[in-house]
Amino acid sequence: MQLWNKLSKEELVEKLKERGTKFVTVSFYQYASIPNTQVFRDHLFQMWNNLGVVGRTYVASEGINAQIGVPADKFEQFKKELYQISFLNNIRLNIAVDEAEAEFPFLKLKIKIRHKILADGLNDETFDVTNKGKHLKATEFNDLIDDPNTILIDMRNHYETEVGHFKGAITPDVDNFRESLPIIEDEILAGNEDKNIVMYCTGGIRCEKASAWYKHRGFKNVHQLEGGIIKYANDCSDKGIENKFIGKNFVFDERRGERITEDIISVCHQCGEAADTHVNCLNDACHLLFIQCDSCKEKMQGCCCSECQEVYNLPEEEQRALRKGKDNSNKIFKKGRSEKLKFKGNNKKPIRIPEAIKLEK
């Protein structure tokens, strides 16, 4: 039986349109010991492929991390089958806040085996990732971040925090999670051992590992937002809780973001006007992730620069010839730090630490 997908993007889109399926965008993670990752991966693929699930999932010996789209009419069956897996029984499923910004959240099912479900750069065999910090529900989170003895830290990357974050949060200008761990410890936490440390991320997976790591490093009052921004936004809406998040929540599917509030706190990387829509450059040799307003999108035909626009307008055969044999991976994943973007800093900015914390250090 084939345990992967071979269709092109165009074929996948056409296939999904023919089905007319409505999807529920779901994310979840669980740190757990998985002895045989290949067997587990293949079991998941068969089970989810039969249901028409699409999306991206990573499996490792330390657990599972999934961002998927489940056909709405198969959602209850999906939950029933998922909960039959012992370590995933009654696992919290984060449901997307806003489904309206993409026709399909994902185009195909991809389940990959990784060394870790979240790359952290850590090589400490004594570290127990399950010894995590205290989970905070939305109301508890709001109360604690109002406490002047609290440090609120955004555990996400620079391109995520740029379009949305919690009021008063420290937003390290980092490219990835493994880079953030030592920077946060050295530049924010050192000297603040008596503070309440509160962290948040998109769905909770980064905070879960970070909270366990900082506890391992000797910090006592470590907390994380349960279910991340996704669950928080849903709880605030459902229960009438004050929402302290502003802007958009960046998500890792075709939507690129879900709006939490109407605030636009970022600018178009090409003209500097208010904008918070992330796109990938339409030049297939680039795919740079950046923020583009509607006006620049029309003017630049969805490209990040005039050079890419010229390539984009060439016949497909010529584009393929230009791409042949070239490795553009570093360029593709610069995620907004390209020198081509006039209104985005190419160099990292220093961490902004609130004055009250500076004075006490």
Q: Which residues touch 239 (CB under 8 Å, ≥6 apart)?
A: 138
Q: Which residues are marked as active site?
A: 201
Q: Strand order in 164-166's β-sheet?
A: 164-166, 245-249, 258-259
CA distance 26 to 68: 5
**How far is C-alpha 119 from the geometric centre of its chain's CA atoms?**
13
Q: How far is CA 220 from CA 124, 179, 195, in A?
A: 19, 22, 9
| Beta-carbon count within 10 A of 36 CB | 10
Q: Which residues touch 325 (CB under 8 Å, ≥6 apart)?
A: none
CA distance 242 to 230: 15
247 within 8 A of 165, measured Cβ to Cβ: yes
